[in-house]
Chains A and B, each alone.
Chain A
Amino acid sequence: MQGEPVLTMRGICKQFPGTKALDHVDFTLRSGEIHALMGENGAGKSTLIKVLTGVHEKDSGSIHISGIEGEARIHSPQDAQNAGISTVYQEITLCPNLTVAENMFIGRTDGALVRWKEMEKKAEAILNSLGIPARARQELGSCSLAVQQMVAIARAVDMNCKVLILDEPTSSLDEKEVEMLFGLMRDLKNRGVGIIFVTHFLEQVYAVSDRITVLRNGELVGEYLAGELPQVSLVAKMMGKSLDDMGGLEALGQKRAPGEDPVFEADGLASTECRPFDFHIRKGEVNGFTGLLGSGRSESVRAIFGADRVTGGRVRVKGRNVRIASPHDAMKHGIGYLPEDRKRDGIIADLSVRDNIILALQVMRGFFRPMRRSEMEAFADEYVAALNIKTASKDTPVGSLSGGNQQKVILARWLLTHPDYLILDEPTRGIDVGTKLEIQKLVLKLSQEDMSVTFISSEIEEMLRTCSRLIVMRDRNIVGELTGSRLTQAEVMKTIAGGER
């Protein structure tokens, strides 16, 4: 059924202040194919989709759509709609309190008068032809999420659509519902619709896609036939590594053999955001969670720290059963946590460097035991010097520091509490190379000093350099654990991909 190109994008560029989101990206979609658009967060997938749907204007490049003479002019979502491009977003954007038929035709009736009977009849016909198990007069909110998603697709398809974009349509569906959705996608494909499928789930890509286009850092990595691209190569391409790129990892310092005593153990720990998992870390050990973004690694460490609502499992700290229901509990048991999103969860932007450094220690001391000013100054001086934090003064609001120095301030905040177990979620993201190395060195030094550290980074080399054990996650489950000689990039990618395909 795969045929002529329905959509051709050539040399698309899009610049945002500070970043080049798309750099000469080409993308071709043929009629009757399901084409997966892959890449890590920030690779440019959503920007490309937004350019295509008229949410963003492209800076340069051309878009051609079959049946339209010359360049397609897409300056607004309405233009995209008229050109035959329909989008179904991750979150369902329909109105649950209206009926299925109303949702399918809302905003598309001619004039102010609605012919309800006719509308319902038309809706019923479309639902039947696509095999969607919903009735036209049913309230949308009473359908399952998958059916709602399918209604959204039906609405999109009905608008004379040549190109259907599905942006993470499966993220809130269970396996059965995903299968149902895939059935609908295959059906549409056989009718000649070109489908762009954006997802984080590798298995699902291979289940339905014909072709895969990979983006990385706003650049096109390549277009591949799904059958010809093994899963492990796909992961490698998304991460921008070649499979034999394994050498050249000089050690920054000595990794130490972890002690025997577990500092932290969890059995079946689960939170509202993560599935149950088992985990432990020994004294002086550095381990790491790895996996693609969205694989559940941050959610897992957030559960350890009590940052999300814990829903089950048992936790032991130094062999003693404890309850960690909030970050405060975790701090009391000697756990520190540097969050993934520095700006949102880490820094208190308007407060001074000094206040930001002493914050966690002050909270641990308690409400009625405020630090003396002189003590605060001494702590701040000590850590500004020790971590080489570049700031005009200790009174400078931390928000005005560079990213790397902000990160160091948060590190200082936790080091000051002298935790037994420190969780660092992406401590090196968005900071300069020099600081990245400093932080990695620091992690190894802390481990020599008997601190246990969980180190998470999108840069696999960083983790291989620092961790003596890597826990690999895929699709929100732990799928493997690598130690010793298996700590290589190739092994990591193989495990993430789920073995050779």
Chain B
Amino acid sequence: MKQKTRADKRKGALGQLMIPLIALGILLLFNLIRDPRFYAISVATNNSGNPVLTGNLISIIDSASELAIIAMGMTLVTAACGGQDISVGAVGTISGTIFVKVLKAFPAINIGTVLLAALACCLVTILFMSFNGTLVSVFRIQPMIATLILFSCGRSIAYWIVGSATPQIDSPIISAMGMTIPGIPIPTPVFGVLLVGLLLAAVFRFTTLRLYTETVGVNEGAARLNGINPVLVKMGSFVILGICVAAAGIIGTSRMGQVSLKTLLVDIEMDAILAVAIGGNSLGGGRFRIIGSVLGAYIIQMLTTTLLAMRVDPVDIKAYKAVVIIVIVVAGSPVVKRELVRLWSLLRQRVLPAKGVK
């Protein structure tokens, strides 16, 4: 009985991650066959003379950082509200401008001012996300409609904050945050993902957030009758998404050493939703796995990098990406899943009796 329980658990855990893991596997295999040099990792020296790791894999996990972080927050909002926030890119840009603005207010950039600026970013994004959260949880507006407001005006707000100039922030600290810390050859944004992931893991470990979020996502009315306040849970998910968005904005800005309203985190909302879906999470809310969404983010980035490595014209990349994504999403759809389960059991019926004869 105990063993069966464990087997069930493993099946449940793998069930959801099956599609993203297979997709990742196929991508890895494809690149291996196409050109094993794709996986080459070498040590190079950067402009300031420090050793850094370079290679496609490094570039994938580095460039996917912002997406992975936002996808984590998006997973929570999706689970609790059964809908997605499409304002993350715009609000992330606001976070970037606040970061620059606060740093520019001080004569020098040091650890203290950077922390202060980061804190300001978090407060501002939490404020904006609470606006979304209020519309969704209190006024029960469809999340996509509610967040459409900031989606359309977020970058204008960022423009009001920073003005037409694109101020540079030139400092070793900033480049350490956006690229690499001297002495550590792994890009810093990767540690950002790790940090946010660990923070979330700690929240799940020391609070009942996961149980509450899933309960509200599955059955809001029943959650209320069991003493859970769905409004607070939904607001909470938006606040956490706010922190993720702040982090993504800071990383993106540090990476470029400036805030560029037109390109910072552009189109990231759609990729983040896609990452959540590829990760096997139901976009209708309920049970969720953050790790699935993170895998989804890396799959999306891997796809882009693979296509670039194949010298596909950057203009055409989106079209190729779309084709692959259609395949992944359809493979993960309930209809295909059901058919796969049916085929699998048919196959087992054919194979098992044969074994019995042996």
Query: Please, how many angstroms separate the alpha-carbon atoms of A172 and B23 in the complex?
Result: 57
Write the nearest CB–CB distance from A411 to chain B, whole angstroms: 14
Option from B218, B226, B227 in Cβ contact (under 8 Å) with A349: B218
Option from A327, A347, A364, A393 in Cβ contact (under 8 Å) with B219: A347
Query: Does A339 sit within 8 A of B, measured CB to CB?
Result: yes
Contact B12 A339, beta carbon cutoff 8 Å: no
Contact B226 A370, beta carbon cutoff 8 Å: no
Write the nearest CB–CB distance from B225 to chain A, whole angstroms: 5
Contact A350 B225, beta carbon cutoff 8 Å: no
Contact B227 A363, beta carbon cutoff 8 Å: yes
Interface code A322-353, partner B: CB below 8 Å = 1, 0 otherwise? 00001110010000010100001111111100
Residues of A within 8 Å of B225, CB to CB, are: 305, 307, 327, 337, 339, 345-346
Contact A359 B215, beta carbon cutoff 8 Å: yes
Option from A327, A337, A362, A392 in Cβ contact (under 8 Å) with B211: A362
Query: Does B222 sit within 8 A of A, measured CB to CB?
Result: yes
Interface code B221-240, partner A: CB below 8 Å = 1, 0 otherwise? 11111111100000000000
Contact B4 A347, beta carbon cutoff 8 Å: no
Size of the chain B interface, CB-CB below 8 angstroms: 27
Known contacts A350-B218, A351-B214, A327 near B8 by CB under 8 Å: no
Contact A393 B5, beta carbon cutoff 8 Å: yes
Query: Does A237 sit within 8 A of B, measured CB to CB?
Result: no
Query: Does B287 sit within 8 A of A, measured CB to CB?
Result: yes
Query: Please, how many angstroms separate the alpha-carbon atoms of A290 and B225 in the complex?
Result: 22
Contact A392 B206, beta carbon cutoff 8 Å: no
Write the nearest CB–CB distance from A340 to chain B, whole angstroms: 11
Which of B5, B209, B226 has the largest count of A CB atoms less than 10 A from its CB?
B226
Write the nearest CB–CB distance from B199 to chain A, whole angstroms: 16
Option from B9, B207, B218, B226 in Cβ contact (under 8 Å) with A367: B207
Query: Does A355 sit within 8 A of B, measured CB to CB?
Result: yes
Option from B4, B205, B286 in Cβ contact (under 8 Å) with A393: B4
Write the nearest CB–CB distance from B9 to chain A, whole angstroms: 6
Query: Does B47 sit within 8 A of A, measured CB to CB?
Result: no
Query: Does A396 sit within 8 A of B, measured CB to CB?
Result: yes
Write the nearest CB–CB distance from A337 to chain B, whole angstroms: 7
Contact B227 A347, beta carbon cutoff 8 Å: no
Contact B226 A350, beta carbon cutoff 8 Å: no
Size of the chain A interface, CB-CB below 8 angstroms: 33
Query: Please, how many angstroms separate the alpha-carbon atoms of A396 and B12 in the complex?
Result: 9
Query: Does B164 sit within 8 A of A, measured CB to CB?
Result: no
Residues of A within 8 Å of B207, CB to CB, are: 367-368, 370
Query: Please, how many angstroms separate the alpha-carbon atoms of A394 and B12 in the complex?
Result: 12
Contact A393 B227, beta carbon cutoff 8 Å: no
CB nearest to A342 among chain B residues? B222
Query: Please, how many angstroms separate the alpha-carbon atoms of A197 and B211 in the complex?
Result: 48
Query: Please, how many angstroms separate the alpha-carbon atoms of A362 and B228 in the complex?
Result: 10
Contact A348 B215, beta carbon cutoff 8 Å: yes
Which of A355, A360, A393 has the largest count of B CB atoms less than 10 A from its CB?
A393
Contact A351 B287, beta carbon cutoff 8 Å: yes
Query: Does B349 sit within 8 A of A, measured CB to CB?
Result: no
Known contacts A347-B219, A351-B214, A360 near B226 by CB under 8 Å: yes
A–B Cβ pairs within 8 angstroms, 26 of them: A326-B224, A327-B225, A327-B227, A328-B227, A328-B228, A339-B225, A344-B219, A344-B222, A345-B221, A345-B225, A348-B218, A348-B219, A348-B223, A349-B219, A350-B286, A350-B287, A351-B218, A355-B215, A363-B208, A363-B226, A363-B227, A369-B208, A370-B207, A393-B4, A395-B5, A396-B8
Given A348-B215, A351-B287, A360-B227, 14 other A-B contacts at CB below 8 A?
Answer: A307-B225, A328-B229, A331-B226, A344-B219, A346-B222, A348-B222, A349-B218, A355-B211, A359-B226, A360-B226, A368-B206, A392-B4, A395-B12, A413-B226
Interface residues of B (CB under 8 A from A): 4-5, 8-9, 12, 205-209, 211-212, 214-215, 218-219, 221-229, 286-287
